[in-house]
A and B are shown apart, each in its own frame.
Chain A
Amino acid sequence: DTGVSQNPRHKITKRGQNVTFRCDPISEHNRLYWYRQTLGQGPEFLTYFQNEAQLEKSRLLSDRFSAERPKGSFSTLEIQRTEQGDSAMYLCASATGPNYGYTFGSGTRLTVV
């Protein structure tokens, strides 16, 4: 297991298009998190899964954002009708439990033109 894997690494899309990102966590980690990071800022929480259950979703997340984690393995984050303000690095992290630090992937950099 080589860590948390995210694909694609970089996505350029036109405003109004839908995009989907994938995250493959470390296999024994049952907790999975999505964060968004813009330049010069710390990551901003988007949503959290424990196994296949989505337990928390940021109030900052509009209805255009949806995430799934079927069978408690990989996860997908979809953004519908993208806007220029969605341009950011989307980070996925996984952990074995609540009292452990997260392992992050390298992120997917989204550019909306």
Chain B
Amino acid sequence: QKEVEQDPGPLSVPEGAIVSLNCTYSNSAFQYFMWYRQYSRKGPELLMYTYSSGNKEDGRFTAQVDKSSKYISLFIRDSQPSDSATYLCAMRGDSNYQLIWGAGTKLIIKP
């Protein structure tokens, strides 16, 4: 079993819909949680960065962390065709440098 599980999709939704992307993890030591967006043939781009449990909002994006369930989510409101990309979750503990990544969810927003 991988340390971080993420549904590869693809997830296809109509423009304007609310999108929910999720990751589950097994290591209770993880404290820092990130969401990255990756367009084809590009490097990942940081969208959200959260520490421990709770919610964080930035524009149309909301990140949620539930450490008790070892579950993190990214919500995208008013989705746009330009949001079509692969979304990767990443996380790490306090005492190491390595990020542990999910495999990514491919998101398609249909105009």
Give A residues with C-beta under 8 Å from B: 4, 6, 31, 33, 40-45, 48, 55-56, 58, 91, 93, 98-107, 109
Contact = CB atoms under 8 A, between A and B. Distances in A.
Nearest to A56: B97
A100 B97 CA distance: 11
Interface of B: 4, 6, 8, 32, 34, 36, 41-46, 49, 51, 88, 90, 97-99, 101-104
B49 A107 contact: no
A101 B49 contact: yes
Contacts of B43: 4, 6, 91, 93, 104-107
A45 B4 CA distance: 14
Contacts of A102: 46, 99
Given A31-B97, A56-B98, A101-B46, 7 more contacts: A44-B101, A45-B98, A55-B97, A99-B32, A104-B44, A105-B43, A109-B41
